[in-house]
């Protein structure tokens, strides 16, 4: 639950920071350009569901951790005129997953250094917690890139969609939440983001373990 709260907070901070940097001060006025997890917490998505998932996991029901943060409000019409609106929307959308990619990589580097310097054993609980935190952030990265609204990948796909196919995409977007639920809850489908996440986490760790 702690790992998810921190990871979601950094994800939403990424959206807010980039929107503010592009010229829209809405996130700053609403107090979202901050790393304070409370500012980005959604009562259900960030607190209740992760708590229930953690209890379910502790009871032997598998791994919990499904959730989301409070969406960042921003106004594309307020961005600096030197940016195309479609470009701004894409940059703000990918900022969130990029923060998870960055955090996941940093955690793997730190864990590799700590193990390499014999600060923590690779078989100990501290390493397991760090590795789990790293994998979680890689999972959030790949999950949010799925091209289905309201995920960030869905917004990017909508902006990149050729105009002649925009109507078809808008019709598909109406069912986006159901696509997201299916991808998240059906194990056979969820592999499209869990497998690459685990692959990246493992190889990033091995790369830095080799260096240290």
Q: What is the mean pLDDT of each run of 10 residues along the chain (212 residues)?
A: 89 97 96 94 83 73 68 94 94 97 96 94 94 95 95 96 93 94 89 95 93 84
84-110 pLDDT, tens digit per residue, is 999 999 999 999 999 999 999 999 999
Catalytic residue among 12, 30, 159, 202: 12
| Residues across the chain | 212
User: Residue 208 in contact with residue 108, Cβ under 8 Å?
Assistant: yes
Q: What's the mean per-residue pLDDT of the chain?
A: 91
The CA-atom distances, in angstroms, between 58 and each of 50, 55, 64, 76, 127 are: 12, 5, 9, 43, 19
Tokens found for residue 65: 């951790």
Q: How far apart are CA 144 and CA 7, in angstroms?
A: 13
* Structure tokens given for 73: 């409000």
Distance from chain centroid for Cα 180 = 14
Total-model pTM: 0.91
Establish whether 12 is a catalytic residue: yes
Report the C-alpha gap between 98 and 109 in whole angstroms.
17
Burial 147-172 (b: 16+ CB within 10 A, else e): bbbebbbbbbbbeebeeeeeeebeeb
> Do residues 105 and 204 make contact, with C-beta atoms less than 8 angstroms apart?
yes
Q: 46 with 68: CB under 8 angstroms?
A: yes
């Amino acid at each position: 639950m702690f790992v998810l709260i921190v990871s979601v907070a950094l994800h939403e901070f990424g959206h807010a920071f980039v929107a503010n940097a592009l010229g829209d001060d809405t996130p700053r006025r609403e107090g979202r350009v901050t790393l304070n997890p409370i500012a980005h917490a959604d009562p259900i998505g960030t607190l209740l569901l992760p708590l229930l998932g953690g209890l379910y996991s502790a009871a032997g029901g598998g791994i919990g951790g499904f959730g989301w943060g409070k969406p960042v409000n921003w106004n594309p019409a307020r961005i600096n005129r030197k940016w195309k609106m479609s470009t701004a929307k894409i940059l703000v959308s990918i900022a969130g997953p990029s923060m998870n990619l960055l955090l996941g990589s940093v955690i793997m580097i730190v864990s590799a250094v700590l193990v390499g310097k014999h600060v923590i054993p690779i078989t100990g609980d501290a390493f397991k917690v760090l590795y789990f935190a790293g994998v979680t952030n890689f999972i959030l990265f790949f999950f949010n890139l799925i091209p289905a609204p309201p995920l960030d990948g869905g917004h990017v796909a909508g902006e990149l969609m050729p105009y002649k196919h925009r109507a078809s995409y808008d019709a598909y977007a109406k069912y986006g939440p159901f696509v997201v639920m299916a991808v998240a809850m059906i194990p056979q489908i969820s592999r499209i983001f869990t497998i690459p996440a685990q692959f990246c986490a493992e190889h990033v760790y091995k790369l830095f373990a080799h260096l240290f």
